[in-house]
Each structure stands twice: as structure tokens, then as C-alpha cells.
Amino acid sequence: RARLKTGEEVAVKVLRPRIERIAAAEFRAFARAARMIEAVSQTARRMEPVQFIDTLKAAAAIELDLRMEAGAASTLAEDLKDNPGVAVPEVIWPLTARRVLTVEWVGATPIGDLAALDAAGVDRGRLAVTVIQTFLTQALHKGFFHADMHQGNMMVDAKGRLVLIDFGIMGRLDETARRTFAEIIHGFITRN
């Protein structure tokens, strides 16, 4: 939490010093271990541990550039702008760079703080419906979704809106995947 010269409160996320070098060293160690496991176990080889580590390394590289997170936050905000029950903090672009992300400060209650939600009069059943509808709207309608919607990344503001934060892990679904996902959900709901 920080305050700009204008008096505006913002949330600032800063990468730790040397995190890129630390992550690179750890991924080298993981890759060595994965290669060794593949060399000695046919069962493990079928699980493709080297490819798994490569996938994690690529995802981490994206997460280590906070401009990508800022872009994801802006895209999600645009996608959800017509939903009055959901809020995404606005990115402060002039104060955002590869290693620093600055967004508007949102005073809100974490959804895991049930006592505070109850004290604020939040209808938890309605909140649960909002969370599910928001995720399904993102995934099925837009094909771009917050892929890390856990209690630490969702809050409720004073207006009763669901506030999403932390956009480092986002997902995309193409038209075929969205259709398949919708069919699975429909089958689950209809028990077919």
C-alpha cells in the first residue's frame, strides 16, 4: 500500500531483487531432476516431467514481467465492465513497468473473512453465485479468465461488489474448448 503525491492510495507490487536469477537456478535444478527421472523410469517418462518443467518455466517467465499482469488486469476489467457486481482495480500505467505494478487501492474485505462479511451484511449465498457466474462469464463467454480465483484473490468492497485481484495467472480457451466446457457443465447440471 502506498500513497501518491496526489494523495491517492495505490497498491504496488514489486518483484524481489534477483528473483529472475533465483528462479532460473531453481528451474535448472528442476530440469536436471526431471531428466534424471525420465532416464530411470519408464512410468515417469510417460508423465513427461521435462515438458512439465518447461511449461512451468514458460509460465514463470510471463509472471516475472508485471506488464503482462497489468495487461491481463486491463483486459479483464474491460471484459467485466458491464457487470455492476464485479470490480477490477484500475492499472496506473505511468507507474507500471516490468518489475513494478501499480493499481488503484481497493478497500475491501477478503472473502475468507466470514465474520467480517457477516458483520458487513454480505449475503454469502449471493456472493457464491456471483463468483460462479463471474468465472463462467469469463471462461465461456469471453474465453479469457482469471485462473487463480481463490480466497486470497477475491474480496468484497463497501458497495458489495466482488473485487478480483492478482492477475499473474490467466487462462484462455478457444471456441472449441469453450463449447466442450459448456457441454460438460450442462451435463453435470442435468446429471447426464
Catalytic residue among 148, 157, 166, 174: 148
Question: Which phi and psi (to 5°) does residue 135 adopt?
Answer: -60, -45
Residue 79 among the catalytic residues: no
| Long-range contacts, stretch 10-13, CB < 8 angstroms, 24+ apart | 10/92, 10/95, 10/102, 10/103, 10/104, 10/105, 11/89, 11/102, 11/103, 11/104, 11/105, 11/106, 11/165, 12/95, 12/100, 12/101, 12/102, 13/66, 13/69, 13/100, 13/101, 13/102
69, HSE (Cβ side, Cα atoms, 13 Å) = 28
Alpha-carbon span 158 to 34, nearest angstrom: 48
Q: Report which residue type is found at 33.
A: A
Q: Which residues are known catalytic residues?
A: 148
